[in-house]
Amino acid sequence: MGAGGRMNVANTNKPPAHKRVPISKPPFELSDLKKAIPPHCFERSLVRSFAALFRDFIIIGALYYLADTFIPMLPKPLAYVAWPVYWFFQGAYLMGLWVIGHECGHHGFSEYPWLNDTIGFIVHSLILTPYFGFKYSHRTHHANTNSIEYDEVWIPKRKADKLYSEILNNPTGAFIVFTFKIVLGFPLYFVFNLYGRKYEKGITSHFYPYSPIFNDSERFQIFLTDLGVFATCYAVYRAAVVMGTQWVINIYGMPILFMSGFFILLTYLHHTHPAIPHYDSTEWDWLRGALATVDRNFGFLNHAFHDVTRTHTLHHLFPTIPHYHTFEAREAVKPILGEYYKYDDTPILEAVWRETKDCIFIEPDEVNGQKKGIYWFHK
């Protein structure tokens, strides 16, 4: 076995995409990976970071100008086609803008924490994302990736949940789950922590300053987050008053809906795959958890998303590396990672449908009559 990993024998005949990653302790440490990465990959350039930010604003502005100027001039049948095309591409580049805000939360935008938080707060507020709320819950996600007790997002269901393991465990149910995720997953995650960790006490929301997600030193920043998103909502309301509701829906509302769908696709597919394990507290450790992620290929959309789609595993290992260095850093550590690295270039629509219908719940394999603390997806 490559990299010294022990594989589950029952899966050796599966297609490569389903081949399970090793579950033994890796024969390398994080320090070994860091030594393999060229030192300049850890350097953050204000010029390159602002260039990426301005690239997004320029493309978003150009798409807005083209849509607002020319689509109303088209005959109605053509306009009915042109608007969805605009929504799709505007949503994709808004997702690219979201990636920049996410990078700010990891302090990967610049060497200056105050600048990172300022840019991230402004960018995420403009696209209805609670910057500080997400920054802090996302920090916990990175600290506990694929821990079934302490991870903060995409917590898998268990077989005991009959709604998923029985009622929705069919093609029709999979379609309902997929549609619900894509359309409503983004707002419901941030407002009600849907798909997130379950807390025993308190109101769990990225907008609630006293949510158990946050500690006392962070609550004021959650209040600021609420003000930022509220300011954007008020600006959208004023635009609707002046320009009309239909204009706001076409220009801003639908692109945000598409961006929300892209957010769900990226995060879901990076953390949901038949070949990656989840761990309980008897087996989990940080390095194996960080390695239990999947890099994906979104085709031409990689450009819109700053190519973070193909470097997510590297991002979990070294989250402060800026996006423009992650590809080089990934190539540097791949020879060391060996079979511990998972890349799946299955076409995205095929992949999300496969994962939706095959990754219904997690259960541990039975070894010598006992179930250990390593969990795999089943259907």
pLDDT digits 0-9 by tens, 130-174: 999 999 999 999 999 999 999 999 999 999 999 988 998 999 999
- Please write the tens of the pLDDT for every residue from 5-51: 433 444 444 446 778 999 999 999 999 999 999 999 999 999 999 99
Spatial contact of 264 and 185, defined as CB atoms under 8 Å apart: yes
**pLDDT of 97:** 98
CA distance readout (Å), 300 to 55, 89, 156 = 16, 11, 30
Task: Say how far apart CA 285 and CA 90 lie, in whole Å.
Answer: 39
Owner of token pair 């607002």: 68
In DSSP terms, which residues pair with 377 in a beta bridge?
362
Token pair for 95 = 């997702």
pLDDT of residue 118: 98
Half-sphere exposure (CA, 13 Å, Cβ side) for 319? 18
Compute CA 328 distance to the chain's CA centroid, rounded to the nearest angstrom.
Answer: 21
Contacts made by residues 15-19, CB under 8 angstroms, sequence distance 24+? 17/274, 17/275, 17/344, 17/346, 18/274, 18/275, 19/275
Average pLDDT, the chain: 93
pLDDT value, residue 16 = 65
Return d(Cα 98, Cα 247) in angstroms, integer.
23
Residue 253 DSSP code: I
Distance CA 63, CA 301 (A): 16
CA distances from 252 to 232, 237, 245, 255, 325 (A): 11, 11, 10, 6, 31
Residue 82 in tokens: 């042109």
8 Å CB contact between 281 and 373:
yes
Phi/psi of residue 295, nearest 5 degrees: -85, 140
Q: What are the strands of the beta sheet with 278-279, ordered from one edge? A: 278-279, 370-378, 361-367
The answer to whether the CB of 160 falls within 8 A of the CB of 362 is no
Where would I find the H helices in 46-75? 46-70
Cα–Cα separations (whole angstroms), residue 257 to 182, 260, 361, 373: 9, 5, 27, 38
Low-confidence ranges of the chain (pLDDT < 70): 1-16, 368-370
**pLDDT (0 to 100) of residue 6:** 39
Q: pTM of the predicted model, to two decimals?
A: 0.93
Contacts 24+ apart (CB under 8 A), 35-41: 36/332, 36/333, 36/335, 36/336, 37/318, 37/321, 37/329, 37/332, 37/333, 38/328, 38/329, 38/332, 40/325, 41/321, 41/325, 41/326, 41/328, 41/329, 41/332
Under a CB-based contact definition with an 8 Å cutoff, are residues 76 and 39 in contact?
A: no
* Size (the chain), residues: 379
Torsion of CA 358, 363, 367, 371, to 10 degrees: 180
Neighbours of 96 (CB within 10 A): 25
Structural contact between residues 26 and 288, judged by C-beta atoms closer than 8 angstroms: yes
Using DSSP's 3-state secondary structure scheme, residue 269 falls into helix
